[in-house]
């Protein structure tokens, strides 16, 4: 069997349209942080609204890709966190994308209910405006929150 050199993310940067690599090779090349995590940004697929930022380890990413339901790694609880398992506010994966240098994954999702644990539609409700931070959205009524 011929051994090929490990994939470099530079290979992806210079790749032609339609080029393809095995997922395992790409995951092996990602610059996972010292805790084995990568930043994951959730975006509503049809509106483009940025919903939240969380973290994934390789197992969470693999589960997400296999099941179609988004799973993160909870840094505070040190365990897998299946988005919406307690609140019902699940994220169904539409497509996953990697950024150019592989240090973040973009999850285009179909969000059911609020994305934020505060019950707000997204986690980015604190706007920095004119030297102050202003809260720009309220929790949705009758929302159960993720812990």
- Determine if residue 28 is labeled as part of a ligand binding site: no
- Determine if residue 130 is labeled as part of a ligand binding site: no
- Determine if residue 79 is labeled as part of a ligand binding site: no
Q: Where are the alpha helices (DSSP H) in the chain?
A: 9-13, 23-29, 58-67
- Determine if residue 142 is labeled as part of a ligand binding site: no
- Determine if residue 100 is labeled as part of a ligand binding site: yes
Token code pair at residue 67: 């099941």
Distance separating alpha carbons of residues 49 and 136, to the nearest angstrom: 15
Closest C-alpha among 137, 45, 145, 141 to residue 95: 45
Phi, psi (rounded to 5 degrees) for 58: -65, -35
Rg (CA), the chain: 17
Task: Please report, in range form, the residues annotated as the binding site for Zn(2+).
Answer: 100, 116, 123
**Binding-site annotation, residues for Mg(2+):** 99, 101, 103
Bind-site residues: 99-101, 103, 116, 123
């Amino acid at each position: 069997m011929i051994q090929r050199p490990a994939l470099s993310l530079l290979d992806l940067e210079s790749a032609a349209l339609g080029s393809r690599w095995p997922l395992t090779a790409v995951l092996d090349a990602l610059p996972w942080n010292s805790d084995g995590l990568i930043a994951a940004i959730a975006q509503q697929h049809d509106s483009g609204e940025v919903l939240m930022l969380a973290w994934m380890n390789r197992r969470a990413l693999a589960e997400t890709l296999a099941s179609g339901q988004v799973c993160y790694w909870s840094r505070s609880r040190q365990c897998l966190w299946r988005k919406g398992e307690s609140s019902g506010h699940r994220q169904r994966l539409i497509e996953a994308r990697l950024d150019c240098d592989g240090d973040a994954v973009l999850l285009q999702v179909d969000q059911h209910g609020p994305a934020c644990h505060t019950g707000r539609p997204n986690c980015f409700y604190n706007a920095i405006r004119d030297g102050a931070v202003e809260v720009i959205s309220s929790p949705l009524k009758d929302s159960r929150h993720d812990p």
